[in-house]
Amino acid sequence: MKKQFKLSTLAIIGAAMLFITSCKKDEETPVVQEGIERAELTFTEVDGHAHGDHFHDLADKTGVTPIVVKFNNKGAAISGGHMHIEADAIYKIQLKAWDYTGKEVQNDFIANKATADNYKAFLVGGNFTLNANTTDESGAIFQPRETTYGDGTAVSGTGGIGTTGILSYFTVGHGNEGATKEVSFILRKVNAGVKANITRNDWNRTDYATAFGGQDVLKLNLEIHAEEGHGH
């Protein structure tokens, strides 16, 4: 009887120790949240000129101060979210994003062609008149413009089909100057085969979500006020 009692006691102690060890392991392995914790969009004025749905002769300018807009994990601007820019100026837009471990991850979306084929950026809202729909080059253009993937191979696809929008260029155009415009920069993971159907004139479509099946990875909300001589 004593032997049985001793064995039962040892079994209980062993189970308790196993439970405590298991709890400690759980405590020592915190669950890392998935997704994007924070993001930035940097707008830098560049030289160049608009033509239809794209830009020509793009080149960096000296003496310009970039505008940095910072966003939280919900896509709300926490710094610089109300921008004042030149209506006719062209801006290079660079996306940066960090996951919940603090790792910078924007280039993961364009690591190679196979990966980049799943992602496309849009700039929706603002009720812009697109430049391609004007006769005097006075409209808006948003042009994703990577030239290489992360593995060093050249971005392929005619008419900008292969580009993603981690790097892009944007102009409001003087035909859209005036009232503040609420816009959202969206990085969307699209379903297989969808990206090949997205053209340069689809960037501002309000129905992008139904037209191009998939899921938004990022939706960064900001305000743009564009006027001649109003950039600051």
> Taking a C-beta distance cutoff of 8 angstroms, is the pair 66, 44 a contact?
yes
pLDDT in tens, 175-197: 999 999 999 999 999 999 999 99
State pTM to two decimals: 0.86
Average pLDDT over residues 91-118: 98
Residue 21: predicted pLDDT = 55
Which residues contact residue 42 at a Cβ distance below 8 angstroms, ignoring those fewer than 6 apart? 66, 67, 68, 69, 93, 94, 96
pLDDT in tens, 10-39: 455 555 555 555 555 555 666 768 899 999
- Residue 78's Cβ-count burial label (10 Å; 0-12, 13-18, 19+) is exposed
